[in-house]
Chain A
Amino acid sequence: MGVPEIAIETSGLVKTFGSTRAVDGVDLTVRRGGIYGFLGPNGAGKTTVIRMLATLLRPDAGEAHVLGHDVLTEAKVIREKIALTGQFASLDEDLTGIENLIMLGRLLGLSSRAARSRGLDLLAAFGLSEAAEKQVKKYSGGMRRRLDIAGSLIVTPELMFLDEPTTGIDPRSRNQVWDIIRTLVSGGTTILLTTQYLEEADQLADRLAVIDHGTVIAEGTPGQLKAQVGSGALTVRVLDEADREDAARVLGEVIGADVHRESDPTALTVRVDQTARAAAALTALEAEDLGIETFSLGQPSLDEVFLTLTGSPADDSAQGTPDETKAGAR
Chain B
Amino acid sequence: MSAVETTEEPGGTAAVHTDKIAGVLMPTGARPRRAGPLSASLTYGWRALLKIKHVPEQLFDVTVFPIMMTVMFTYIFGGAIAGSVDGYVQWLIPGIFVQTLIMITMYTGLTLNRDISKGVFDRFRSLPTWRPAQLVGALLGDQVRYTLAGVIILTVGFVMGFRPDGGALGVLVAFALLLVFSFSLSWVWTVISLAVRTEQAAMGISMFILMPLTFASNIFVDPRTMPSWLEPAVDVNPVSVVVTSIRELMAGSFQAGSVATVLLYCVVLVALFGPISMFIYNRKS
Contact = CB atoms under 8 A, between A and B. Distances in A.
A127 B31 contact: no
Interface residues of B, number: 52
Given A86-B123, A108-B35, A129-B11, A180 B18 contact: yes
A135 to B, nearest CB: 6
Interface stretch (A51-59, A270-278, A293-301): A51-59
Interface string A118-133: 0001101111111110
A131 B120 contact: no
Interface in B122-165: 122-129
Interface stretch (A136-144, A196-204, A259-267): A136-144
Given A95-B54, A129-B14, A134 B46 contact: no
Given A107-B35, A108-B34, A108-B127, A189 B7 contact: no
A19 interface: no
Contacts of B227: none
Contacts of A153: 24-25
Given A127-B12, A139-B9, A140-B7, A91 B126 contact: no
Nearest to B12: A143
Contact of A130 (B14, B30, B44, B122): B14
Contact of B128 (A76, A127, A132, A184): A76
A96 B50 CA distance: 9
Nearest to A124: B20
Given A91-B119, A107-B35, A131 B21 contact: no
B47 A95 contact: yes
B283 interface: yes
Contacts of B13: 127
A129 B31 CA distance: 24
Contacts of B127: 79, 104, 107-108
A107 B119 contact: no
A140 B9 contact: yes
Given A57-B285, A106-B35, A107-B127, A139 B12 contact: yes
A83 interface: yes
A325 B28 CA distance: 47
